[in-house]
Amino acid sequence: MSRAKAPYIAPAERAAPDLDSGKYLVMWQGPNHPGITGNMSLRLVIEGDSVVDCETHVGYLHRGFEKLMERRLWMQNFPLVCRIAVPEPDFNEYCYAAALEELAGIEVPDKAVWLRTLSLEMIRLASFLMWIGGQAGAFGHGTIAQWSVTMRDYVLDLFEELTGGRIYHMYIIPGGVRGDVPAGFLRRVLETMDTVRKNLDDIELVMFHNVVYKMRAQGLGYIPPDWVDQYGITGPNARAAGLPRDLRKDLGYLAYPRLSFEPIVGTVSDAFERSRLRLLEMYQSIDLIRQIVDMLPARGAFRAKLPNPLHWKIPAGETYVAAECTRGEYGFYVVSDGGDKPRRVAVRGPSYTHGVALMERLARGVNIADVAGLMVSLHTYPPEIER
């Protein structure tokens, strides 16, 4: 019977296979493996060609951000935070900046709010475009990556014009943003959005109507709705299970309350539904970017006045700022003891739950050829697991 009709629920308890029996094979997938996202590894115990047990091993990218941030001034951390999650640095910048503004009581100008929203939506689109190439590639569909990564590059070109950097933008600083939009930029944004949208239609046609992709992705990595709270699942993985949880709506941060959009909700959270949902979210992002371009105020300050960063002491306090990134709830928990350096900055990345605990459970019983596709369908990103 097809997996799509009766989704397979992975067992809750870890199997304890007798490795000396000769029935099982221990295989490492990663860190040096093309089917792994980023740089982490899975220790798979295999019987025949199906996975009996999966153990995640992370830490290959550990740089000790949280320790380094305690050693640096508040403002010095700002170029550091964006490097925590490489494909979408802006969420780090926003969460850090917003946490500082809350603690220090800084008011952000309205134009900066809009520009921040624009940059967050653009990076969301870029990150999804990169992801869809990986998802198709994991199921042997190389063409999609050729298209979508190029589309992502066009979005990165916009970033380069706006911020000066392709990958790390360092655009959203405490108090506002680093610069105003260049002349003619908004027109080019709209043009690029048209190009991307047209390409998304092609991707939809080629990828989602492809019978191989359908057969391999449907029923793979099924997440029942009651796992969502149990595992702390957020973002498209949770929305695909039917829960309308979108922090853009729930928290109403930045300019999102003034934009018109509804969380996109799926029915059965398997790899196919999740990828379909993310495709729809790309369309939604394009729509949001168009709305933002329409409503962006033409004039006004884009940055509040900040105190001298050398002597900038932030009053003692704590706050947790979360934002909806492409993978789910991304948050910064910042504690200040009243000094010129943070007491503690803890980063909450959605991959932390999706890529470790959930992945270990979902991988049980999966065919080894599908492990890479399963991992990509959760949209995990190792650097934010280990920081």
Partner 1 sequence: MSDKHSIPGPLANEGLPLAERGLFCDAPPRQYQRANKITEAFWNWARAQSLWILGFGTGCGAIELRPLMTSRFDMYRYGIQPRPTPRQSSVFVIGGYASVKTLKRIVRSYEQMMGPKFVVALGSCTINGGMYWDSYNTIKRIDQYIPVDVYIAGCMPRPEALLAGFQELKRIIRAGRGEGQNEYARKFEWYKANQKQVIKDWNMPDYNW
Partner 2 sequence: MKELITSLANRYGVRDWKDLKAGQAACFVDSGRLRDCLRWLRDEAGYAHLSFATAIDQLERGVFTLTYALRNHERGHSLLVHSEIDRTRPVVDSIHRLWAQAWTYQREMKEWYGIDFPGSPRVDEEFVLEGWQGPPMMRRDFDSLAYSDATYAERPGRASSDPAEHMKRELYPEEQA
Q: What is residue 253's DSSP assignment?
A: -
Q: Distance (Å, rounded) from C-alpha 92 to C-alpha 85?
A: 7
Whole-angstrom Cα Rg for the chain = 21
N residues, the chain: 387
Size of the site for partner 2 (CB under 8 A): 46
251 vs 265, beta carbon nearer partner 2: 251
Cβ neighbours of residue 191 closer than 8 Å, sequence gap 6 or more: none
Considering the rule CB under 8 A, would residue 125 count as an interface residue with partner 1? Answer: no
296 vs 385, beta carbon nearer partner 2: 385
Considering the rule CB under 8 A, would residue 349 count as an interface residue with partner 1? Answer: no
Considering the rule CB under 8 A, would residue 350 count as an interface residue with partner 1? Answer: no
Q: Which does 133 bind (CB under 5 to 8 A by kind): partner 1, partner 2, none?
A: partner 1
* Cβ at position 386, least distance to partner 1 in Å: 8
Structure tokens at 317: 């306090």
b/e per residue 202-229 (b: at least 16 CB within 10 A): ebeeebeebeebeebbbbbbbbeeebbe
CB atoms within 10 A of CB 187: 10
Q: Return the residues of window 59-98 that contact partner 2 according to CB under 8 A.
A: 59, 62, 64, 66-68, 70-73, 76
Please confirm whether the linkage preceding 17 is cis (ω < 30° from 0).
no
Q: Which does 130 bind (CB under 5 to 8 A by kind): partner 2, partner 1, none?
A: partner 1
Q: Distance (Å, rounded) from C-alpha 153 to C-alpha 204?
A: 19
Measured CA to CA in angstroms, residue 245 lies from 4, 160, 264, 369 at distances of 24, 32, 9, 31
Considering the rule CB under 8 A, would residue 308 count as an interface residue with partner 2? Answer: yes
* Cβ at position 320, least distance to partner 1 in Å: 25
Q: Which one of 86, 206, 251, 265 is in contact with partner 1 (CB under 8 A)? A: 86
Residues 53/15, Cβ–Cβ less than 8 Å: yes
Adjacency order of strands within the sheet including 344-348: 317-324, 329-336, 344-348
Considering the rule CB under 8 A, would residue 356 count as an interface residue with partner 2? Answer: yes
Q: Applying CB under 8 A, which part among 27-35, 116-124, 233-241, 253-261 lies near partner 1?
A: 27-35
Helix (H, G, I), strand (E, B) or coil at 246: coil
Q: Applying CB under 8 A, which part among 6-14, 43-51, 53-61, 219-227 lies near partner 1?
A: 53-61
Considering the rule CB under 8 A, would residue 327 count as an interface residue with partner 1? Answer: no
**The residue type at 145:** A
Structure tokens at 131: 């992801």
**The residue type at 244:** P
Q: Which one of 43, 83, 197, 343 is in contact with partner 1 (CB under 8 A)? A: 83
Q: Which one of 103, 130, 277, 366 is in contact with partner 1 (CB under 8 A)? A: 130
CB atoms within 10 A of CB 298: 7
* Cβ at position 156, least distance to partner 1 in Å: 8
CA of residue 358 relative to chain centroid, distance: 16
Q: Which one of 10, 44, 51, 61 is in contact with partner 1 (CB under 8 A)? A: 61
Measured CA to CA in angstroms, residue 124 lies from 17, 24, 61, 62 at distances of 41, 41, 23, 24
Considering the rule CB under 8 A, would residue 33 count as an interface residue with partner 1? Answer: yes
Q: Which one of 317, 367, 368, 369 is in contact with partner 2 (CB under 8 A)? A: 317
Helix (H, G, I), strand (E, B) or coil at 161: helix
Q: Which one of 11, 59, 140, 339 is in contact with partner 1 (CB under 8 A)? A: 59
Considering the rule CB under 8 A, would residue 357 count as an interface residue with partner 1? Answer: no
Considering the rule CB under 8 A, would residue 62 count as an interface residue with partner 1? Answer: yes
Phi, psi (5° rounding) for residue 306? -110, 155
Catalog residues that contact partner 1 under the rule CB under 8 A.
Answer: 31-34, 38-39, 59-64, 67-68, 71, 79-80, 83, 86-87, 130, 133, 145-147, 149-150, 152-153, 166-168, 383
Catalog residues that contact partner 2 under the rule CB under 8 A.
Answer: 58-59, 62, 64, 66-68, 70-73, 76, 102, 227, 229-232, 234, 243, 245, 250-251, 308-310, 317-320, 322, 329, 331, 333, 335, 343-344, 346, 348, 352-353, 356-358, 361, 386
